[in-house]
Amino acid sequence: MYRDCKALLEAMKRLLAVLLLLAALPAGAQSMSEGEVRKVDKDAGKLTLKHGPISNLDMPPMTMVFRVKDAAMLDAVKQGDKVKFVAENVGGQIVVTKIEPAR
């Protein structure tokens, strides 16, 4: 009986270690989505993107308006640019948290 409990405990410890490892994966491992800039609205801090599938949000390709995490991000892009970006659901709002030119 004692041995079984100990084995179970060890198994749970290993499982916990794996879960912690997964949780600690850097944000860089996050999948980036592809898109094309349709409109940049610096005053509103918004960006219109024609985007491909966004797997982490379960979103199909479409053209839509995004908020950006930091308005300064909009200085790095202009209309017509092909970009790679990360969009996240922050409190029910889709926010672009990272954007960079696609090469």
CB of 62 or CB of 76, closer to Cu ion: 62
Q: Is the dihedral of CA 62, 98, 95, 88 positive or negative?
A: positive
Residue 5: enclosing H or E segment and its boundaries? helix 2-23
Residue of 72, 69, 70, 66 whose CA lies nearest to 39: 66
In the complex, the smallest distance separating the C-beta of residue 98 from Cu ion, rounded to whole angstroms, is 16
CB of 14 or CB of 31, closer to Cu ion: 31
Contacting Cu ion within 45-64 (CB under 5 A): 59, 62, 64
Q: Where along the sequence are the contacts to Cu ion (CB under 5 A)?
A: 59, 62, 64
